[in-house]
Copies of this chain bind each other. A is one copy, B any other.
Amino acid sequence: MVTVTLIGTSALLPLPDRALTAALLTANGRSVLFDCGEGTQSAARRAGVSLMKTDLVALTHYHGDHIFGLPGLIQTMNVLGRTEPLFITGPEGLIEELEPILKLAGRIGYEIRLIELPNEGLALAALNGNWPGGAKLTAFKTEHTVPSRGYCFTLERAGRFLPEKAEALGVPNTLWGLLQKGQSVRAAGRTVLPSEVLGAPRKGLKFVFTGDTRACESLAAACEGADLLISDATYGENDQALLASDHGHMNFAQAAAIAAKAGVKELWLAHYSQMIREPEDCLANAKELFANTVCGRDGMSAVLRFENG
Contact = CB atoms under 8 A, between A and B. Distances in A.
Interface of A: 12-16, 19, 37-39, 41-42, 45-46, 64-65, 68-69, 71-72, 75-76, 79, 99-101, 103-106
A46 B19 CA distance: 12
Contact of A72 (B38, B42, B103): B38
A78 B157 CA distance: 48
B79 A75 contact: no
Nearest to A39: B39
A64 B14 contact: no
Contacts of A46: 16
Interface of A is mostly: helix
Given A64-B105, A100-B100, A104-B100, A69 B12 contact: no
Contacts of A101: 100, 104
The 5 nearest A-B residue pairs measured at CB: A100-B100, A14-B42, A38-B72, A100-B103, A16-B45
A15 B161 CA distance: 47
Given A15-B42, A39-B38, A39-B39, A72 B76 contact: no
A247 B266 CA distance: 50
B76 A13 contact: yes
A47 to B, nearest CB: 9
A101 B101 CA distance: 8
Contacts of A39: 14, 38-39, 42
Nearest to A12: B79
Given A38-B42, A68-B75, 9 more contacts: A13-B76, A16-B45, A19-B42, A38-B38, A38-B72, A39-B39, A64-B106, A101-B104, A104-B104
A211 to B, nearest CB: 18
Contacts of A12: 79
17 contacts: A12-B79, A13-B76, A13-B79, A14-B41, A15-B45, A16-B42, A38-B38, A38-B39, A38-B69, A38-B71, A64-B71, A64-B104, A64-B105, A68-B68, A100-B100, A100-B101, A100-B103
A78 to B, nearest CB: 10
A75 B71 contact: no
A95 B64 CA distance: 21
A275 to B, nearest CB: 13
